Structure 1
Amino acid sequence: MLRQFHKMHGLGNDFVILDAREEPLAITEALARQIADRREGIGCDQLILLEPSATADLRMRIFNADGSEVQSCGNATRCVVKLTGAATIETAGGLLSGAAHGSEVEVTLVEPRFEWDAIPLAYPLPTDPMPMGWENLDRPYIVNVGNPHAVFFVDDLDDTDVEGIGPGIETDPVFPERINVNVAQVEGNALRLQTFERGAGLTRACGTGACATAVAAIRARLVTSPVTVHMAGGSLSIAWAPGEPVRMRGSATHVFKGTIDLQ
């Protein structure tokens, strides 16, 4: 079965996008893993499946490189807006909206949640910050921006082995649905960030991670909105005020399109 796909990336966070709005397509964990494999498949951090929606221009489903399905992805949202022109996108993490602005795309995510059972945590704990630690990282700010994030602030990001410590935090039993791990350093009214994504590992950029980190930093009065978040793949501008959804603005790049035999 031959299907067309698009390869896109947001600041190096890369995606394979399959459009199933007119012709349905079933994605299994095994198939998602095969497509995402960088040696034997196309290769990507996440596989994106576009489907019809009764409440928005389209529905976006997100599969991590390990085959697990997750609720939201900010970088993928910008790519889908650029690819399709969709103004509203239904996701498992909520209704998102977006629009192109020249070479950049701005998307509006959901209003952040901070309650322990909205993350979710395994049992009631403060989330602002959470009184726990792992190795040299402790007291993370916990926030759900459509998917769950733990945000650690450090004095020296270069002195933190995010890739080494990330898996243990991601899979800690206190996070029953696993967690995305963000480690950030404040630089003036900007943030430098590394994110270990659940199901994908260390990525060059994470849109929802940038949003969650900016929200945590604004709440902690470390920065003011809007804030620039610098990652290995590039930078995003994040704007947020309490009681409002998060707005994220940055680039989205179409790399190529092709055809894959899903058999």
Structure 2
Amino acid sequence: MSTSTAADWFATPLGADLLAREQAYYDETVSNIFGFNALQLGLAQFDFLRACRIPLRASIGSGPGVRVLADLNFLPVASQSIDLLLLPHVLEFATDPHQILREVERVLMPEGHVVMSGFNPLSLWGVKRFFNRRSGAYPWNGRFISLTRMKDWLSLLNFEMTGGRMCCYAPPFASNRWRERFAFMEKAGDRWWPLGGGVYFLVAKKRVPGMRLILPSWNERLAARQRLAAAPQRATTLNQQPKCEGHG
């Protein structure tokens, strides 16, 4: 089977194994993010927003199955209008990943979230890519971006890292049997080589310097008590009679 496209590769045993891991991570992460509008950039054939509780969700890009056909370098989206944006393996296959990140920063609302996944060059997956990058096959034809560099790019755009994880520590064997033999590496990966996973996930929040969000008061009882508090007054005795002064 040809693996020149993402759809072909994710249909292979190795791709399907990674897809299951990624779907589980996105399902867990997006279910805890709220707002009104959510976008998924790229890989529209896989619904990574399926567990999201945000009401308006759409996929955008140039591939098959997208809801909005557009160039990711120039998103047809209003500035500061998106609460959640997903980037599943987009930047390592983009001609200008910096421009896409600038667009992500532009369309996200203050305190909005970006969730992304990427292939790690400093891993056994990166070693395989080194020997297979000339084949033109997905995903080895991508320009893998290290986790450190990705964090630096996001920090320059005033994003704050709020979460992340790595997976796929075992060698990227095409055979299920060989991957099962090296399953011990998956269990020990986070402890012994925490930065050596073949795939990383990142969650970042957009921060706007000098801006402080004013949130509604959810404690209505406290708010009502504050509104009805009486001004302090001098205490008086009901039975006290007014004092009269006699004239001689």
Q: State the TM-score, normalized to the length of structure 2.
A: 0.24
Bigger RCO (CA 8 Å, 6+ sep):
1
Q: Which has the higher helix share?
A: 2
Q: Which has the higher strand share?
A: 1
Q: State the TM-score, normalized to the length of structure 1.
A: 0.23
